[in-house]
Structure 1
Amino acid sequence: MTPQAVIFDIGNVLIAWQPERYFDRLCGASRRRAMFGSVDIHAMMNRIDAGADFGAEAARMAAVHPDFASELMHFRDHWCDIAQPAIPHSVRLMTALRARGVPVYALSNFGAGNFPLSAAQFPFLRQFDRAYISGRMGLIKPDPAIYAAVEADCGLLPEALFFTDDRAENIEAAAARGWQVHLFEQPEGLARALVTKGLLTPQEAT
């Protein structure tokens, strides 16, 4: 069936999420490798995405790892420098879908405290018809419960939802519920999928 709503992940779909690249510039690749080898940065972000307080968690990790305290506090103090830039073609696809009258939702592992910072930086993050942000929900992908919560809230059948995400495990969990899915690698691939699904014309998808 033709999807009745399109659901976007945010990190690495609409805005870049490459903290390694940021810290390579900030402190050099050698120092960054040492930090990421000593501190489980992605576990820290998962806790924030699951509902831990953004600033408090960064400060806690800085206290636990004093050798990297300055760098760790960058997550709290320089978030908008780390989680950027926008991915222009993806943003154009989102805009084209909205112009077509297709409901556009977000389903993102994102902290309740840092999402508003990104939404202030990138106005398109305030334009979703519904925004399902894990830190607000207390649920995190790929837990099946977060997909069930989306279904219950939006009132659409699973097969009516088209979801794109850059992580295979998140896509697989959605597909297991019957969602239509696309593993995001490049915006061009998503553009082709939206055309194939009949949601955009080739011209609209450029």
Structure 2
Amino acid sequence: MSNKPRKIAVLTGDLVNSTGLGPENVERAFDALEACAEMQAGWMDDQSLHFTRHRGDGWQVALAEPKYALRSALCFRAALRALGEEFDSYIGIAEGEVEGEIGPDLNEANGEAFMISGNLLAITKLPDRTIHMLYDAACDVGIPPTATLACLQLLEAIFNKWTKVQAQTMLPMLTLEAPQSYTELAEQLGKSRQSVSKTLSAADYYYVSQALINIEDAHA
């Protein structure tokens, strides 16, 4: 890989109420997060996200395609919510430049994006916070930070209403390899097309999808 500086996005997360979940459910959560990271590698030209667990209930990934950072974060949270409504994660998102290869263990990584992402994670966990995702450096790619915050707040409000079934149905539709039709998704999930359509409508799929597409287009 070239040593030329390149932009990445770093997501740093902590499970919400990991103590209350218990050890078995924490392991289920990490299995879901790791599987989600492996799925997202296809968005990055098959470059690994280097999913790394740290501090027991913490995790981190590095995205080779920063424009997908918000979609990535929402997919990670949907993968958790699909296990049950008690599953969620705080996430700090930051962009920055790196040089050379990123090693498989992000606990050994350093750089501005890693530091800022961790700092933002700490802010999301403050008692007076009502939003579980914070995103830094969007203004560097032409997206006003106030617009990014507004988008995050609206996505947070929508996500917080998702049931387990809605998250299970939304997750495949949020990926870049989303089913081409509701019929295809219904077959994939073993449900009726009518049921899938009603679930996606209740979860505000159209609005979430359009918001992500517009953010990614502006980023590009």
- In the superposition, the TM-score normalised over structure 1's length comes to 0.29
- In the superposition, the TM-score normalised over structure 2's length comes to 0.28
- Structure with the bigger RCO (C-alpha within 8 Å, sep 6+) is 1
Q: Which has the larger radius of gyration?
A: 1
